[in-house]
Amino acid sequence: MPGIKKLIFFMVLLMGTSAFSQEIGVQFYTFREQFKKDVPGTLQLIAKMGIKEVEGGGSYGLPDAEFKEMLKKNGLKIISVGADFDELAKDPQKAVDEAKKYGAKYVMCAWVPHAKEFTIDDAKKAVEVFNTAGKLLAANGIKFCYHAHGYEFRPYGDSNLFDYLMKELNPKYVNFEMDVFWMKHPGQDPVALLEKYPHRFLLMHLKDRKPGTPGNLDGNADVESNVVLGSGDVGIAAIMKAAKKAGVEHYFIEDESSRSVEQVPQSLAYLKTLPVK
């Protein structure tokens, strides 16, 4: 009961404060466990949190028309949909069709298949696949973004494979979705990356990390290390300030912990305390 009371308190707090200058959405993966049990109820829950923009993909086993009607009923707009790497390589038109189905203006890919370590050969394949798929998406009025997971920061030449991707991916067709957790986890500074590559990060996943969590270059972490925004070591306040200057267009909270239903309203409340400049 205390947890429910706290959730209600934060919902009331959110509805009683002024609106963001920038809309804050949520990645559907945040509520993956809830969707398994109750799709309509989960969409209602998201809407009650004051969220209007979402990143998703698929209809959770429901007919497309029924799911789209539920989205409309709850005032939820799909901004971005996910696409599988192999699908992009074999038939990128499927990503175009999926985005158009929901009226999404962005497609993102969150993983490049690789063995234990991400290599230059993996990066070269990603460049070929992404530039080709991105060109098709752009021709259909859709922006394509790659969501890095930290394994891209393995050393390469006098820099790393992430810098290689930035150099080789054509910004006309391919840009990035910055997950701030996955920039911090391999030891990078999200603010420095936003400043180094302005207008290359069009989308952003907002996620904070429990202080003391050991990082790595594997793209893996304990989901329970995800904490309320502003209570971790990622540096959300500075990131939000830098993100606006760097041209980030849409933001999505992605809380992978088992506490997401309680934490997301708290994270939204924290964001409302930040300066809007």
Q: Looking at residue 57, what is its pLDDT?
A: 87
Domain enclosing residue 129, as ranges:
2-271
In a domain, 203, yes or no: yes
Q: Looking at residue 226, what is its pLDDT?
A: 98
Token couple for 16: 């009683």
In a domain, 174, yes or no: yes
pLDDT tens for the chain, 277 residues long, are 445 445 544 454 444 333 345 799 999 999 999 999 999 999 999 999 999 999 998 999 999 999 999 999 999 999 999 999 999 999 999 999 999 999 999 999 999 999 999 999 999 999 999 999 999 999 999 999 999 999 999 999 999 999 999 999 999 999 999 999 999 999 999 999 999 999 999 999 999 999 999 999 999 999 999 999 999 999 999 999 999 999 999 999 999 999 999 999 999 999 999 986 5
Beta-strand relationship, 53-56 and 77-82 = parallel
Token couple for 170: 């054509």
Q: Looking at residue 20, what is its pLDDT?
A: 44
Q: Which of 75, 21, 20, 27 is nearest to 206 (CA)?
A: 27
- CATH code, domain with 155: 3.20.20.150
For residues 207 and 212, give the distance between their C-alpha atoms in angstroms, rounded to a whole number.
15
For residues 144 and 132, give the distance between their C-alpha atoms in angstroms, rounded to a whole number.
11
Sign of CA dihedral 112, 260, 24, 184: negative
In a domain, 171, yes or no: yes
In a domain, 244, yes or no: yes
In a domain, 277, yes or no: no
For residues 71 and 32, give the distance between their C-alpha atoms in angstroms, rounded to a whole number.
16
Name, in order, each residue with C-beta under 8 angstroms of 246's C-beta and a sequence gap of 6 or more. 194, 195, 197, 198, 199, 201
In a domain, 149, yes or no: yes
In a domain, 276, yes or no: no
- Number of structural domains in the chain: 1
Residue 109: half-sphere exposure toward Cβ, Cα within 13 Å: 25
Q: Looking at residue 277, what is its pLDDT?
A: 57
CA 146 to chain centroid, in Å, comes to 10
Determine the 3-state secondary structure of 214 from DSSP: coil
Which residues in the chain belong to E strands, given as ranges?
Answer: 24-27, 53-56, 77-82, 106-109, 143-147, 155-156, 159-160, 175-179, 201-206, 208-209, 226-227, 250-253
In a domain, 265, yes or no: yes
Token couple for 149: 């997971």
Q: Looking at residue 22, what is its pLDDT?
A: 76
Q: Looking at residue 79, what is its pLDDT?
A: 98
For residues 257 and 224, give the distance between their C-alpha atoms in angstroms, rounded to a whole number.
5
